[in-house]
Structure 1
Amino acid sequence: MDHYDLIIIGAGPAGSTLATALEGSGKRVLVIDKQEFPRDKTCAGWVTPAVMESLSIDPQHYGEGRTLQPIRCFRIGMMGQAPVENDHGDIVSYGIRRCEFDYYLLERARCDKALGEPVRSIERDGENWVVNERWQAPLLVGAGGHFCPVARLLGDGPGSHETVVAAKEVEFRMTPEQAEACRASGDTPELWFCRDLKGYAWIFRKDNYLNIGLGREDNHKLSDHLNHFLDEMKQTGRIPSDLPGRFKGHAYLLYNHAHRPLVDDGVLLLGDAAGLAYTQSGEGIRPAIESALLAAEVIRSAGNTSADSLQPYGEAIAERFGNRAEQPDNGWQLPQWVKTPLAGTLMRSHWFTRRVVTEKWFLHQEVPPLKAALEAAY
Structure 2
Amino acid sequence: MEYYDLIIVGAGPAGSTLARALHRSGKRVLLLDKQAFPRDKTCAGWVTPAVMESLGINPAEYEKGRTLQPIRRFRIGMMGQPAVENDHGHVVSYGIRRCEFDHYLLDQVNCEKQLATQVRSIEHRYGNWELNGQWQTPLLVGAGGHFCPIARLLGDGPGKHETVVSAKEVEFRMTPAQAQACAARGDTPELWFCQDLKGYAWVFRKGRFLNIGLGREDNHRLSDHLQAFVEDMTLAGRIPSDLPKRFKGHAYLLYGHANRPLVDEGVLLIGDAAGLAYTQSGEGIRPAIESALLAAEVIQSAPDYSALALQRYGERIAARFGTRANDQEQGREIPEWLRLPIASTLMRSHWFTRKVITEKWFLHQEVPPLDRAV
User: Which TM-score band (shorter chain)?
Assistant: over 0.9
Counterpart of 1:28?
28
Q: Structure 1 residues 144, 320: CA separation in 2 closer, same or farther (over 3 Å shift)?
A: same
In structure 2, runs of 5+ residues without a counterpart are: none
1:293, distance to aligned residue in structure 2 (A): 0.1
Write out aligned runs for 1:1-378 (5 A). Answer: 1-326=1-326, 328=328, 332-373=332-373
CA displacement, residues 31-85 of structure 1 (integer Å, 9 cap, x when unaligned) = 0000000000121110000000000000000000000000000000000000000
8 Å Cα contact 1:216/1:332 also seen in 2:
no
Give distance in 1, aligned partners of 2:352 and 2:136. Answer: 51
Task: Name the CA shift for 1:254/1:327 in 2 (closer, same or farther; >3 Å).
Answer: closer
The answer (yes or no) to whether the contact 2:217–2:333 under 8 Å persists in 1 is no
User: Following the alignment from structure 2 to structure 1, what is the Cα–Cα distance between the partners of residues 89 and 353?
Assistant: 15
Q: Which AA in structure 1 matches 2:81? A: Q
Q: Note if contact 1:197-1:332 (Cα within 8 Å) is conserved in structure 2.
A: no
**Paired residues, number:** 374
Computed over aligned residues only, the root mean square deviation of the Cα atoms, in angstroms, reads 1.1
Q: Relative to structure 2, which stretch is displaced further, 360-369 or 156-165?
A: 156-165
Letter in 2 for 1:198: K
Q: For residues 225 and 339 of structure 1, do their structure 2 counterparts lie closer, same or farther at Cα, with a shift above 3 Å needed?
A: same
1:331 Cα offset (Å)? 5.2
**Residue 117 of structure 1: CA displacement?**
0.1
C-alpha distance in 2 between matches for 1:124 and 1:230: 48
Distance 1:350 1:259, change over 3 A: same
Superposition deviation, residue 330 in structure 1: 8.2
Say which SS state the counterpart of residue 220 (structure 2) adopts: helix
Tell me the distance in 2 between the aligned counterparts of 1:205 and 1:193: 18
Greater alpha carbon shift after TM alignment, 314-323 vs 331-340:
331-340
> Taking structure 1 as reference, are residues 159 and 355 closer, same or farther at Cα in structure 2, changes over 3 Å only?
closer
1:332: how far off? 3.9
In structure 1, list runs of 5 or more residues that go unmatched. Answer: none
1:233-281: CA deviation from partner (whole Å, max 9, x where unpaired): 0000101100000000000000000001000000000010000000000
Report the CA distance between 1:153 and its aligned residue: 1.1
Is the CA contact 1:146–1:252 (under 8 Å) kept in the aligned structure 2?
yes
* Pairwise CA distance, 1:6: 0.2
The runs of at least 4 aligned residues of structure 1 exceeding 6 Å deviation read none
Contact kept in structure 1, 2:330 and 2:336, CA below 8 Å: no
Separation of aligned partners in 1, 2:326 and 2:363 = 25
Q: Which residue type is aligned with residue 6 of structure 1? A: L
The amino acid of 1:225's aligned partner reads H
8 Å Cα contact 2:163-2:218 kept in structure 1: no
User: Distance between the aligned counterparts of 2:372 and 2:180, measured in 1?
Assistant: 43
Q: How far did 1:329 drift?
A: 5.7
CA deviation map 1:145-170 (0-9, x unaligned): 00000011111432411010100000
Alpha-carbon distance in structure 2 between the residues aligned to 1:102 and 1:217: 26
Task: Go from structure 1 to structure 2 and tell me whether the alpha carbon gap of 1:50 and 1:156 turns closer, same or farther (over 3 Å shift).
Answer: farther
TM-score (norm 2): 0.98
Residue 107 of structure 1 deviates from its aligned partner by 0.7
| Structure-2 separation of matches of 1:300 and 1:161 | 33
